[in-house]
A and B are shown apart, each in its own frame.
Chain A
Amino acid sequence: MKILVVDDEMDVKDLFLQRFRKEIRKGELKFVFAFSGEEALKTLDGLQHETVLILSDINMPGMSGLELLKRIKSKYIAPPPVVMMVTAYGDDENFNTAKSLGADDFLTKPVDFKMLKQKLLSN
């Protein structure tokens, strides 16, 4: 399974690669990265025959994470990929919107990597 991480902060890539270096080495997890919602959609198009889990930031310039979520969930007929949303603003409104758009999980920054690891491995 591939995990697509979407965040406008470039250093997120290095961080994930290091945080999950053991899992990557063992082949338990595979990561791809996109730095905007638009880029994420393009990446997904190229991964059509794979199982993908998406981990997306909400606050990004241009297409926001929520918009991305909406498009993913409405585009895929069956079964849509698992989408986890990440945001710095852990407020009810974002949470509710994400849920109503079909988000499978909701994480707030700073991300607890131990918990994330468990979630990713169990998926």
Chain B
Amino acid sequence: MKKILILFILLVTFGINWCFSQPQEYKDHEIDSLTIEFRAASIDSLKIKLGKRIIGRYISKAWNANNTGRYAESYRTYHQAFEFWEAKEMLSLFEKTKNSQIERSYYFSLANLYFNYGHLMGATGNDLERKFNYLKAYEIAVRWDDAINTTYGLTGIALIHMENNALDSASLTIKKTLLYPADQIGYNYSTMLFLDGMIEYMSKNYAAAKHSFSRGLSDATKRNNDTGKALTYYGLAKTYTALSKPDSSYLYAMNSLEIMKIMEEVQILEFDIAGVYEQLYEHFIQVGQPDSTLMYLQLANKKGIELREKRIAQMAAFQQELLNREKKASWEEKKRIQRESQFRTYSFLGILAVLSALGLILFRSFRQKQKANILLASQKAEVQKTLARLKETQAQLIQSEKMVSLGELTAGIAHEIQNPLNFVNNFSEVSNELIDEMNEEMENGDLDEAKLIAEDIKQNLEKINHHGKRADAIVKGMLQHSRKNAAEKEATDINKLADEYLRLAYHGRRAKDKSFNANLETNFDKSIGLVNVIPQDIGRVVLNLITNAFYAVNEKKLSQEKVIAGHGNSTNDDLKPYTPTVSISTLAENNKVKIIVKDNGIGIPKHVVDKIYQPFFTTKPTGEGTGLGLSMSYEIVTKGHQGELKVDTKEGEGTSFTITLPKI
């Protein structure tokens, strides 16, 4: 029995009132817009204010996700929160003020973050992590004289002691929290009293238990804390059953039931209406009314199953979300997963039905945490399978992006090949004529002239060879570009590569749009030498950046033409003539090499700069961009070459992308 009671209160969380949880989308949107405001803010006091609001939203979002069983999302959100809050800049923002109250407010949020993260660790069975996070929250809170998080941390530790059946330690710990005045702890004071009562109850000190529950109840009533009321009513009902006072027990159980009928469950507490029904069942065993006993057993069972079903549905919803991202996964596959999840639901219900028929002993064991863990493990396997498929799809997408950019290149390549081939044909024809002339000169006896012609022929043969090789390199490059497997790094002439892809991009664009033209500038640092890179990958990045630059300058040109057209043909000299310019330059710097692609196009609006490396993000009209170009470029530069890809842009004035590669 003790074990079940502990399980009920496993996951008590404080700090946020779940009754006021907001819809998820709203919250995400809010975090996004607050973050934008935060980045834009230049005054420290405003930054601090916004930062505090953002961390609050993060915790609330993560907490809600945990409470509704979306563990993966909760985990992700907590990590975002830690990243945001534990950033050096954030701490120094608060420290700079030299105001101990403001500094303290930083640590208040930090302690609260650790504390709530501890719950997620508990819910997902990471007991060591859980304890570590509670202790960390406690440590920080004590150092900063923060009564709320100090008592929360202690409560968490007390819970762990309770789970381990170390009632003495649990009692000592929880009693420390009660040394603080109720006013300092606030909303969740009643929950601490409830825990104290439960520990006393389990130690069979029923009078002390009753005392704590009653105090908890009056505090919860005063604060209008329905959860606190439901918990302490429940505690009192249990205590009165133990004291053999069935009338009082019944009354309190019904009070708790009334609230829980609305609340149904406090999932994060693993306290639910089924627990109250179970208490009523215990009560009727005591008073000996078989009908009611059976009724409440059935109700406890039914509700237990219902809530379990809900959790499975939530898990399935989480899977569904992952599945939705999977663009090419077949519909049948999704169906299969749904069927499986349904099958699992039904088999689970079947097992539970058998368990209930077997009676109390099995009914108890069904509540045990292990069950949940097994379920979780199977869900995890499912999620991992989905992830594996997601990776496969990603690989396919990458290949198709390669083919898209190959398509862009084809026209450029055709042009690039035609020129060298023309030279090969022309110089060989001319050489043929020259040989005839040379023979004539020799017959005339003018050997000097013949020698001169021979020189020319030799020169022509070299040219034929040069242009043949040029065509050959273009074809090879094209094959490399679409090659499926990851290629090896090789010592590469970056300047030559940049020049080649600039030409290809230019002619590719020209072939698609004859009216397009841009001033191309190159500025190559000859001292950079050979750099170890995967040439076709870096080539693809350069191609992508130049293609984007062309797009940007063209958009600007079009918009300017519109403005001019709007002015009629009047001689409006306000508008300077716009020369679309795209430049590519290279630069050697210490042990690094930089490739800079710069344009004077439309620039990137501030609100999307952060998103440009996200897969599928594109500002081009539908069908014109895959939204994968920059994300792949980023991937290639950072992961493939341990380099950096940085952007510097001003809306309406232009953009400059800098690729920085290590030279080793």
Contact = CB atoms under 8 A, between A and B. Distances in A.
Contacts of B459: 14
A89 B434 contact: no
Interface string B400-444: 000000000000000100110011011100100010000000000
A108 to B, nearest CB: 11
Interface stretch (A40-48, A57-65, A71-79): A57-65
B514 A91 contact: yes
B322 interface: no
Query: By DSSP majority rule, is chain A's interface helix, strand, loop, or mixed?
Result: loop
A59 B423 contact: no
Nearest to B582: A61
Contact of B423 (A11, A67, A91, A94): A11
A30 B418 CA distance: 27
Contacts of B427: 15, 18
B419 A9 contact: yes
Q: Is the interface of B mostly helix, strand, loop or mixed?
A: helix
A18 B506 contact: no
Contacts of B519: 61-63
Contacts of A97: 514
Contact of A59 (B415, B422, B425, B460): B415
A61 B467 CA distance: 20
Contact of B460 (A18, A62, A88, A89): A18
Contact of A61 (B430, B463, B506): B506
A65 B642 CA distance: 42
A88 B427 CA distance: 18
A19 B507 contact: no
Interface residues of A, number: 22
Given A15-B430, A18-B430, A19-B430, A88 B463 contact: no
Given A18-B456, A59-B507, A88-B418, A67 B517 contact: yes
Contact of B419 (A14, A18, A88, A91): A88
A67 to B, nearest CB: 7
B49 to A, nearest CB: 52
A9 to B, nearest CB: 6
B520 A109 contact: no
A88 B514 contact: no
Across the A-B interface, give the 10 residue pairs with the lowest CB-CB distance, nearest first.
A61-B520, A110-B422, A18-B430, A64-B517, A62-B519, A93-B514, A15-B426, A88-B418, A11-B423, A88-B415
Contacts of A94: 514
A109 B422 contact: yes
Contacts of A91: 514
Interface in A7-33: 9, 11, 14-15, 18-19
A69 to B, nearest CB: 13
Contacts of B418: 88, 109-110
Contacts of B456: 18
B511 interface: yes
B419 A89 contact: no
Contacts of A110: 418, 422, 425-426
A14 B514 contact: no
Which of under 10, 10 to 19, 20 to 34, or 35 or more describes the interface residues of B? Answer: 20 to 34
Contact of A11 (B463, B514, B517): B463
Interface of A: 9, 11, 14-15, 18-19, 59, 61-64, 67, 88-89, 91, 93-94, 97, 109-111, 113
Which of A91, A97, A109 has its CB near the most chain B CB atoms (within 10 A)?
Answer: A109
A71 B507 CA distance: 23
A119 B168 CA distance: 110
A111 to B, nearest CB: 8
B641 interface: no
A97 B515 CA distance: 10
A64 B517 CA distance: 7
Contacts of B514: 89, 91, 93-94, 97
A64 B463 CA distance: 26
Contacts of A113: 426
A79 B415 CA distance: 35
Contacts of B467: 11
B70 interface: no
A3 B598 CA distance: 37
B510 interface: yes
30 contacts: A9-B419, A11-B463, A11-B467, A14-B460, A14-B463, A15-B426, A15-B427, A15-B430, A18-B430, A18-B434, A18-B456, A19-B426, A19-B430, A59-B507, A61-B506, A61-B520, A62-B519, A62-B520, A63-B519, A64-B517, A67-B517, A88-B415, A89-B511, A89-B514, A91-B514, A110-B418, A110-B422, A110-B425, A111-B422, A113-B426
A40 B36 CA distance: 51
Nearest to B459: A14
Interface string B59-99: 00000000000000000000000000000000000000000
A14 B511 CA distance: 27
A67 B516 CA distance: 12
Interface in B466-488: 467
Query: Most chain-B Cβ atoms within 10 A of its Cβ — which of A9, A97, A111?
Result: A9
A101 B148 CA distance: 81
